[in-house]
């Protein structure tokens, strides 16, 4: 095999769990369209550009609501990314008191705000084990206390692609009167999610991963059951409403959306959602195609690459995310050779998820992660398996 510079193909992008690439042309067009033809600050003025911007944002709100089966678009809160959304929910609900339960598969976007509140004092956090990647549901139920306000569950691991069963967890939360926040950064657009019929109170989503929008987009979807008065805003400021008052309005979505929104990004997000829904089978179709690619890769890799180890059985990988290691090699070296010599872009290390790697036995060294998107093909996987085979052989003979 040769250097990608001499290959007659594009470099291969297997880092879609970080952010998806490429973005659909409609997304690019929507972003440019806002900046060149719509303009205007939504909700701030009565002129045509402002109204059009407001309509564009509202139609994105409708698209997000419909995607998650939420009947009321006013219950979609735009944030700047999933981390921002998770911080709003975690800090806004816990404030400075009470108990929270979370899982040992979390990303730092949930565990860090929780641990920060704990370190400041007043908030207690319990991390429930996830042997083999799945939450120990009985241990989760035992961890709940009368003072438990919030459960934070990673819907699918960014490092391992393992999905948690929100229905079982949600039923327990409902019985115990605990708010369930699902971190759907990796599952929005990758796995169907139904906030109306599943017992989830709040969904945090990323706009630039499975929804194919631009970076700088994400948000929360609040179920009808969740009283948003339980969540305090973290930001205060202009909303284009109640301008005569020096106090933050209390109604949705304004209470949580101070300052001008990322309208260009939100226009792109709407186009991204429309794009994935236009693909065959919609989100479910995407999930199935990624599972096929995952199974295809894992079968060939296990067969061809000496010392190939993946800690997750193929049937448990739901989001096209594969963590692996090659025995005797540092994951960072494997990823470096993939990128430098073969033009394959992946991510090595702990993937901002040290707890998840501890749960799966890959801490502190981490793994190499390949994460597939809607544009990846079997041909790319064939090329990558050949590359990994060469890398493993090359290294051993050196």
Partner 1 sequence: MNAFSVILFQSATSSIRTARLLKKEGIERKMVPIPRNLSPDCGYCVRIRSEDAGRVKDLLVQGGVEFDRIEEWAEVLINREAM
**At residue 13, what are phi and psi to the nearest 5 degrees?**
-105, 110
From the candidates 70, 130, 184, 352, give the one annotated as an active-site residue: 352
Q: How far is 187 from 284, CA to CA, in rounded Å?
A: 11
What is the distance, to the nearest Å, from the Cα of residue 286 to the centroid of all Cα atoms in its chain? 15
Q: How far is 115 from 111, CA to CA, in rounded Å?
A: 6
Q: Write down the least CB distance from residue 207 to partner 1, Å.
A: 18
39 binds partner 1 (CB under 8 A): no
Task: Specify whether 352 is catalytic.
Answer: yes
Overall size of the chain counted in residues: 398
Q: For partner 1, which residue of 192, 249, 282, 285 counts as binding (CB under 8 A)? A: 249
Task: Please answer whether residues 12 and 384 qualify as being in contact, where contact means their C-beta atoms are separated by less than 8 angstroms.
Answer: yes
72 binds partner 1 (CB under 8 A): yes
Q: Which residues contact 300 (CB under 8 A, 6 or more apart)?
A: 381, 382, 385
3-state secondary structure of 235: coil
DSSP 161: -
By CB under 8 A, which span of 56-64, 105-113, 187-195, 384-392 interacts with partner 1? 56-64
Closest CB to partner 1 among residues 201, 254: 254
Q: Write down the least CB distance from residue 266 to partner 1, Å.
A: 12
Nearest to 354 by CA among 84, 86, 90, 108: 108
Task: Please answer whether residues 288 and 300 qualify as being in contact, where contact means their C-beta atoms are separated by less than 8 angstroms.
Answer: no
Q: For partner 1, which residue of 16, 19, 20, 50 counts as binding (CB under 8 A)? A: 50
51 binds partner 1 (CB under 8 A): yes
Q: How far is 266 from 263, CA to CA, in rounded Å?
A: 5
345 binds partner 1 (CB under 8 A): no
Closest CB to partner 1 among residues 273, 360: 273
21 binds partner 1 (CB under 8 A): no
58 binds partner 1 (CB under 8 A): yes
40 binds partner 1 (CB under 8 A): no
Kindly list the catalytic residues. Answer: 352
**Chain residues in the site for partner 1 (CB under 8 A):** 42-46, 50-51, 54-55, 57-59, 61, 71-74, 239-244, 249, 251-254
């Amino acid at each position: 095999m040769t250097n990608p510079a001499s290959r007659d193909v594009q470099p291969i992008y297997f880092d879609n769990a970080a952010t998806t690439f490429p973005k659909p042309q409609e997304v690019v067009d929507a972003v440019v369209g806002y900046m060149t033809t719509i303009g205007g600050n939504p909700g701030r003025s009565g002129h045509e550009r402002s109204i059009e911007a407001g309509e564009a944002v509202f139609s994105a709100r409708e698209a997000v609501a419909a995607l998650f089966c939420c009947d009321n678009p006013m219950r979609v809160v735009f944030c700047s990314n999933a981390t921002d959304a998770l911080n709003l929910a975690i800090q806004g609900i816990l404030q400075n008191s009470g108990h929270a339960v979370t899982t040992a598969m979390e990303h730092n976007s949930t565990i860090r705000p929780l641990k920060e509140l704990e370190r400041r004092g007043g908030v207690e956090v319990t991390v429930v084990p996830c042997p083999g990647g799945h939450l120990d549901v009985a241990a989760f139920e035992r961890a709940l206390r009368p003072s438990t306000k919030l459960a934070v569950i990673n819907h699918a691991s960014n490092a391992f692609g393992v999905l948690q069963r929100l229905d079982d967890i949600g039923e327990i939360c409902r019985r115990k009167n605990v708010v369930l926040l699902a971190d759907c950064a990796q599952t929005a657009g990758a796995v169907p999610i139904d906030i109306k019929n599943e017992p989830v109170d709040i969904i945090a989503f990323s706009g630039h991963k499975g929804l194919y929008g631009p970076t700088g987009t994400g948000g929360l979807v609040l179920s009808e059951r969740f009283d948003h008065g339980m969540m305090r805003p973290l930001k205060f400021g202009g909303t284009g409403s109640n301008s005569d008052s020096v106090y933050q309005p209390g109604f949705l979505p304004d209470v949580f959306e101070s300052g001008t929104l990322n309208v260009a990004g939100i226009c792109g997000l709407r186009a991204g959602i429309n794009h994935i829904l236009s693909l065959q089978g919609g989100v479910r179709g995407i999930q199935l195609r990624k599972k096929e690619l995952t199974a295809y890769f894992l079968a060939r890799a296990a067969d061809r690459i000496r010392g190939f180890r993946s800690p997750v059985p193929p049937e448990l990988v739901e989001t096209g995310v594969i963590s692996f290691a090659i025995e005797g090699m540092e994951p960072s070296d494997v990823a470096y050779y993939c990128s430098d010599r073969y033009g394959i872009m992946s991510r090595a290390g702990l993937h901002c998820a040290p707890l998840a790697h501890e749960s799966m036995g890959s801490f502190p060294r981490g793994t190499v992660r390949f994460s597939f998107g809607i544009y990846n093909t079997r041909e790319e996987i064939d090329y990558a398996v050949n590359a990994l085979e060469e890398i493993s052989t090359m290294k051993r003979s050196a």
